[in-house]
Amino acid sequence: MTEDDILFDEAYELQEVIWRGSCSTIRRCTHRLTAQHFAVKIVDAAKFTAIPSLTLDNLKLEATICHMLKHPHIVELLETYSSEGMVYMVYELMEGADLCIEIVKRATSGFVYSEAVASHYFRQVLEALRYCHDHDIIHRDLRPHNILLANKENSAPVKLAGFGCAKRITDEDVATSGRLGDSFYISPEMALNRPHGKASDVWSAGVLLHILLSGTQPFLGTGESLRYTICSGELHFDAPVWGAISDHAKDLLQQLLHHSWKKKKKPKLDCLICIQNRDKCASRDHLHLTVEEMRIFNARRKLKSLIVATANSIKWGHPSLDPNCDAFSDIDEDES
Ligand code: 3AM
């Protein structure tokens, strides 16, 4: 996987832990020559391959896909090293947290969070997704956790990360195997273990838009009940939070979470065109209720992360629990 014989430690100095999962850690690192900061994902190959259905090929595929993708709204993988059973993936450093955490943080500091802002962020995510699809890559794990703010500034762009479940496809609907993303975001065809393709990412984008507009997830439950809810695909706009949301936004949501998979008509990212200028004309009124719902949504995610991190620390014997430790993605690996 290494392009030359230089070791990671010779080129970079490791800094603090950003995140710790069961088989990988993300740390800030500094390039020894340029003093520039990056984020390195360090994967323990033995622990990674100990997870059922994961092999080194999965890791290689993730690196290959990430190296291919160069887009202003995708977190760039710059270099990959490997030595002594560890794989080091050096990414550009994202200084902001994930999108939903940042939305609440910024709203708490007094910034307006409106439909126009939601539309602005969502358009960037769709542009990243369209680029992936144009290159026949499906992401398969689109969710707030994998959408990061590039820096702390108010105008910071969002970038798509988390390509651990991504797959190259040569045809429509061929990807049936491999790791799948978080079960709350997967499409009906994925939930039913059927062939799936680009349309599944469009579905996940719909789930994301639902969260951006209302701060709530459209489909809840566990196991069979979650699968049933996803496949019935009913959207309800009667909660008070929806009162401030435009019909245009609700229509878009219906389009993205439309059950066209049953009719063999695949939704595409054409909706990008219709939201292209949306952030310029959408409402600029602050979505107070949405922010409050998103605060609860974030707190639940944090709690889930903490529970998983505790389970991982028991399973793998991590000496301490980092408060930033979020092993959300690792439970997905185990669940899928
Ligand atoms: O769990 P939290 O939100 O603290 O923001 C990402 C997330 O942190 C962070 O690692 C965690 C698991 O995805 N992360 C991922 N890629 C990153 C990058 N390139 C990153 N942080 C900075 N730069």
Choose one of 148, 298, 329 to mutate for the ligand 1 pocket test, by most ligand atoms within 8 angstroms of C-beta: 148
CA 97 to ligand 1 centroid distance, Å: 7
pLDDT band at 327 (very low <50, low <70, confident <90, very high): very low
pLDDT value, residue 205: 96
pLDDT band at 331 (very low <50, low <70, confident <90, very high): very low
- Report the alpha-carbon distance of residue 333 to residue 73 in Å, rounded: 25
Say which DSSP state 2 is in.
-
Q: Whose CA is nearest to atom 11 of ligand 1?
A: 19
Average pLDDT on 294-310 reads: 91
The predicted complex's ipTM stands at 0.94
Q: Looking at the annotation, which residues are catalytic?
A: 141
CA 196 to ligand 1 centroid distance, Å: 27
CA 1 to ligand 1 centroid distance, Å: 23
Q: Is residue 101's pLDDT more than 50?
A: yes
pLDDT value, residue 301: 95
Q: Is residue 335's pLDDT more than 60?
A: no
Q: Whose CA is nearest to atom 8 of ligand 1?
A: 19
pLDDT value, residue 334: 31
pLDDT band at 316 (very low <50, low <70, confident <90, very high): low
pLDDT digits (tens, 9 = 90+) for 236-279: 999 999 999 999 899 989 989 986 555 555 555 655 555 555 65
Q: Whose CA is closest to 73, among 17, 26, 120? A: 120
Q: Is residue 136's pLDDT more than 90?
A: yes
Choose one of 19, 40, 101 to mutate for the ligand 1 pocket test, by most ligand atoms within 8 angstroms of C-beta: 19
Q: Whose CA is nearest to atom 21 of ligand 1?
A: 94
Q: Whose CA is nearest to atom 4 of ligand 1?
A: 324
Q: Is 264 exposed, middle or buried (0-12, 13-18, 19+ CB in 10 A)?
A: exposed
Question: Exposed e or buried b for every residue in 88-104, given b needs 16+ CB within 10 A?
Answer: bbbbbbbebbbbbbbbb
pLDDT digits (tens, 9 = 90+) for 142-168: 999 999 999 999 899 999 999 999 999
pLDDT value, residue 195: 87
CA 6 to ligand 1 centroid distance, Å: 26
Token couple for 49: 């391959």
Q: Whose CA is nearest to atom 17 of ligand 1?
A: 94
Other Cβ atoms closer than 10 A to 205? 23
Phi, psi of 57 (to 5 degrees): -60, -35
CA 88 to ligand 1 centroid distance, Å: 15
Report which ligand 1 atom has the smallest distance to the Cα of 75. 19
What's the Cα-to-Cα distance from 217 to each of 72, 143, 183, 205, 298, rounded to whole Å? Answer: 27, 11, 12, 12, 11
CB-defined site of ligand 1, < 6 Å: 18-19, 26, 39, 75, 91-94, 97-98, 148, 161, 324, 326
Q: What is the pTM of this model?
A: 0.89
* DSSP state letters, 234-296: -----SGGGGGS-HHHHHHHHHHT--GGGGTPPP-TTHHHHHTTHHHHS--S--HHHHHHHHH
Q: Is residue 109's pLDDT more than 70?
A: yes
pLDDT value, residue 172: 66
Q: What is the mean pLDDT of the chain?
A: 86
pLDDT value, residue 307: 87
